[in-house]
Amino acid sequence: MNCYECRRVSGTTNPAEAVCSQCGAGLCSAHVRIEKREVHQPHGLGKSSADLPGRRIVCPVCERAEHSE
């Protein structure tokens, strides 16, 4: 699989190293956006979030769409 953003923006072909969790586009290391997210796991009345954050991978387009106001 090749990076969709490289092909779309500059017409080049670079191997993808990750996949956007929202749209499924292949991403190279230059276009991948890694976000931290809180992981919730219901445990009755106790703490429901993990101590360490999880990882979420998105493309630049999905990142902009999610963070625009």
Summarize pLDDT for 12-63 with one digit per residue, the tens.
999 999 999 999 999 999 999 998 877 666 766 766 666 777 789 999 999 9
pTM to 2 decimal places: 0.74
18 CB-near residues (< 8 Å, 6+ apart): 26, 27, 32, 57
- In sequence order, the 6+-apart residues with CB closer than 8 A to the CB of 40 are 48, 49, 50
Write down the pLDDT at residue 62.
94
- 55 or 3, greater pLDDT: 3
Residue 58, beta-bridge partner list:
33
pLDDT recorded at residue 54: 77
Helices (H) and strands (E) in the chain, counts: 2, 4
Handedness of CA 4, 10, 11, 14 (dihedral sign): negative
Kindly tell me if the per-residue pLDDT of 69 is higher than 70.
Answer: no
